[in-house]
């Protein structure tokens, strides 16, 4: 199974960190063009909502897409906020495709109607749609009594449009019991992937869902159910569980950027040295995942383009970043945990180790 | 269809199930890895779980992983392995008791 930082679709492809299988590893640029959203979900890591106006302009996005392609990134994942509310989304996706990037979109699935999906369909390789559980659970998490019905309509639209889609389920302390329901729903609806992502305490979740973060044994239970579901539905869809086995990390430290320097220096491109970049809606570019400490930021698009910021970051900050990763690796190595939510851990430590 | 997992969710959700049991099961299924075709878990013990039984079906290529697991684990107290297939079994089912 695989892992991912934020609950982002990686275009129905393995995650750069967790996947230890064969085949090329996608190098991902994740962009958050807007924090505007039609919902105000309890677990939203970016505190998005209808009243939030933070938005990036399309020229900044064109620039960062061009630069990321030049640095070796091959996939762009668009999130938010609700990306379907970003007016220039078709232009961004079209431009990304013109650069040869694979494109994915993470959405709450409620705004595909009125030709919105049709306008981006031809530039889209995959969709990730959030599903929190049975209708009552989903509506409660989404703070909307109509969210599930609108989700159903959205899924039908995506299916009719022929866009491959995945479901993303945010795992909470209580939701692991709903995983069989979510898997059955995924099979019925024709999803190609079920991604299970443990709740992270960022954004709105940090204040309202502190007790809902899955405990270590709950994550273990969820992993076991996920493995059973993976075997059961192998002919219908894949299952991605966003945690790493400690054993795999110890066997291959570079999974978490913690290999000795000589191995790391063999990377040929920027994207090989840092598998995922995240552009937040205020223009800040951070490594790995949304919410990473800004003391490790690569730059801000309002100040300089990515291509201008990268060389200095690689020279001055990449060693510091890898030092952070080695510290986290040591912490993981000495623990008795079987499963590690590395993204959650590295983000937490990034905020503690600010120099 | 999801009802077929009710027993497993109930078994895993029992409050008396120790984290060591969870860890041991993670070891079982993760070491069998891609070779696993089916996996279920059931509690052992009449008045409160004092162990768990794992039922799994796996490909022939998983045998080596299973044997390594059996030699490494200190919590396994029973193992039954059944070959499936006449003359040349390609698939095996196993019941592994964990205490």
10-residue block means of pLDDT along chain A (355 residues)? Answer: 37 40 71 94 88 94 98 95 95 98 96 92 96 96 94 96 96 95 97 95 85 92 92 91 94 92 74 95 96 96 98 96 96 95 94 71
Global pTM value: 0.87
Domains in chain A: boundaries: 1-355
User: Cβ contact (<8 Å) for B8 and A225?
Assistant: yes
Those residues with Cβ within 8 angstroms of residue A162's Cβ, 6 or more apart along the chain or in another chain: A121
From the list A176, A223, A232, the residue facing B26 with the nearest CB is: A223
The answer to whether the beta carbons of residues A296 and A316 sit under 8 Å apart is: no
Q: What is the DSSP letter of A55?
A: B
Rounded Cα distance between A272 and A267, Å, is 5
Q: What CATH number is given to the structural domain containing B28?
A: 3.30.70
User: Cβ contact (<8 Å) for B22 and A217?
Assistant: yes
User: Cβ contact (<8 Å) for B6 and A180?
Assistant: yes
pLDDT of residue A9: 41
| Alpha-carbon dihedral A170, A172, A177, A179, rounded to 10 degrees | 10
pLDDT of residue A17: 36
The answer to whether the beta carbons of residues A144 and A181 sit under 8 Å apart is: no
Mean pLDDT calculated for residue range B84-93: 78
Structural domain boundaries enclosing B6: 2-98
Chain B positions in Cβ-Cβ contact with residue A133 (cut-off 8 Å): none
- The dihedrals phi and psi of A327, each to the nearest 5 degrees, come to -65, -40
Q: What is the DSSP letter of A286?
A: E
Instruction: Using the predicted structure, report yes or no on whether residue B1 has a pLDDT greater than 70.
Output: no
* Residue whose entry in the numeric block shows the structure tokens 């369909």: A121
Those residues with Cβ within 8 angstroms of residue A87's Cβ, 6 or more apart along the chain or in another chain: none
Chain B positions in Cβ-Cβ contact with residue A224 (cut-off 8 Å): 8, 12, 22, 25-26, 29, 39, 41
Radius of gyration of chain B (CA): 14
From the list A187, A225, A338, the residue facing B5 with the nearest CB is: A225
pLDDT of residue A263: 64
User: Cβ contact (<8 Å) for A245 and B30?
Assistant: yes
From the list B3, B23, B40, the residue facing A338 with the nearest CB is: B23
Nearest-neighbour CA in chain B from A220: distance (Å): 6
Encode pLDDT of A266-304 as tens digits: 778 999 999 999 999 999 999 999 999 999 999 999 999
Specify the number of domains making up chain B: 1
- Give A1-355's CATH code, choosing from 3.40.50.300, 3.90.1150.170, 3.90.1150.10, 3.20.20.70: 3.20.20.70
Chain B positions in Cβ-Cβ contact with residue A221 (cut-off 8 Å): 12-13, 22
pLDDT of residue A264: 63
Those residues with Cβ within 8 angstroms of residue A215's Cβ, 6 or more apart along the chain or in another chain: A173
From the list A184, A225, A338, the residue facing B27 with the nearest CB is: A338
Nearest-neighbour CA in chain B from A330: distance (Å): 20
Lookup: tokens for A29 = 């640029």
Residue B28's H or E segment, with its range, is: helix B19-32
Instruction: Using the predicted structure, report yes or no on whether residue B87 has a pLDDT greater than 80.
Output: no
- DSSP strand pairing (A193-198 vs A238-241): parallel
pLDDT of residue A54: 92
Q: Which residue has the higher pLDDT, B80 or A280?
A: A280
Could you give the residue ranges of the DSSP H alpha helices within chain A? 58-70, 89-98, 116-121, 135-142, 147-161, 179-189, 203-208, 216-232, 246-251, 261-264, 270-273, 306-316, 318-333, 342-352
- The dihedrals phi and psi of B98, each to the nearest 5 degrees, come to -120, 130
Q: Is the dihedral of CA A238, A240, A245, A249 positive or negative?
A: positive
Q: What is the DSSP letter of A176?
A: G
Chain A positions in Cβ-Cβ contact with residue B38 (cut-off 8 Å): 228, 231-232
3-state secondary structure A112-131: CCCCHHHHHHCCCCEEEEEC
Chain B positions in Cβ-Cβ contact with residue A245 (cut-off 8 Å): 26, 30
From the list A231, A247, A338, the residue facing B36 with the nearest CB is: A231
């Amino acid at each position: 199974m695989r892992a991912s930082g934020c609950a982002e679709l990686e275009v129905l492809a393995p995650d750069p960190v967790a996947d230890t299988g064969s085949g090329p590893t996608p190098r991902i640029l994740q962009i958050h063009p807007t924090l505007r959203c039609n919902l105000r979900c309890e677990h939203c890591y970016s505190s998005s909502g209808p009243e939030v106006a933070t938005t990036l302009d399309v020229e900044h996005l064109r620039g960062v897409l061009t630069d990321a392609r030049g640095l070796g990134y091959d996939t762009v994942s668009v999130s938010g906020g609700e990306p379907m509310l970003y007016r220039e989304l078709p232009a961004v996706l079209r431009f990304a495709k013109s650069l040869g990037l694979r494109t994915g979109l993470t959405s709450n699935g409620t705004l595909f109607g009125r030709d919105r999906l049709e306008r981006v369909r031809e530039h889209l390789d995959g969709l990730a749609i959030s599903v929190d559980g049975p209708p009552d659970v989903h509506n409660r998490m989404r703070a909307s009594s109509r969210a599930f019905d609108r989700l159903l309509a959205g899924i039908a639209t995506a299916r009719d449009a022929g866009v491959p889609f995945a479901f993303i389920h945010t795992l909470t302390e209580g939701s692991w019991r709903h995983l069989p329901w979510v898997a059955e729903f995924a099979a019925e609806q024709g999803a190609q992937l079920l991604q299970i992502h443990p709740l992270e305490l960022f954004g709105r979740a940090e204040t309202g869902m502190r007790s809902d973060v899955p405990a270590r044994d709950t994550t273990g239970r969820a992993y076991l159910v996920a493995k059973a579901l993976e075997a059961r539905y192998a002919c219908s869809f894949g299952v991605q569980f966003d945690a790493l086995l400690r054993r795999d990390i110890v066997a291959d430290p570079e999974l978490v950027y913690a290999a000795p320097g000589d191995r790391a220096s063999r990377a040929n491109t920027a994207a090989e040295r840092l598998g995922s970049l995240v552009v937040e809606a205020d223009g800040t570019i951070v490594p790995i995942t949304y919410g990473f400490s800004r003391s490790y930021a690569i730059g801000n698009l309002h100040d300089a383009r990515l291509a201008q910021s990268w060389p200095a970051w690689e020279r001055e900050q990449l060693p510091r970043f890898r030092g952070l990763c080695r510290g986290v690796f040591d912490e993981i190595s000495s623990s008795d945990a079987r499963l590690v939510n590395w993204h959650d851990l590295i983000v937490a430590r990034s905020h503690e180790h600010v120099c | 269809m999801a009802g077929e997992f009710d027993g497993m969710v109930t078994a895993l959700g029992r409050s008396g199930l120790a984290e060591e049991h969870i860890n041991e099961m993670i070891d079982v299924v993760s070491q069998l890895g891609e070779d696993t075709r089916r996996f279920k878990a059931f509690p052992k013990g009449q008045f409160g779980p004092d162990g768990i039984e794992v039922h799994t079906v796996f490909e022939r290529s998983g045998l080596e992983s299973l044997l390594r697991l059996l030699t490494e684990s200190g919590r396994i107290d029973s193992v039954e392995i059944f070959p499936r297939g006449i003359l040349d079994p390609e698939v095996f089912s196993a019941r592994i008791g964990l205490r």
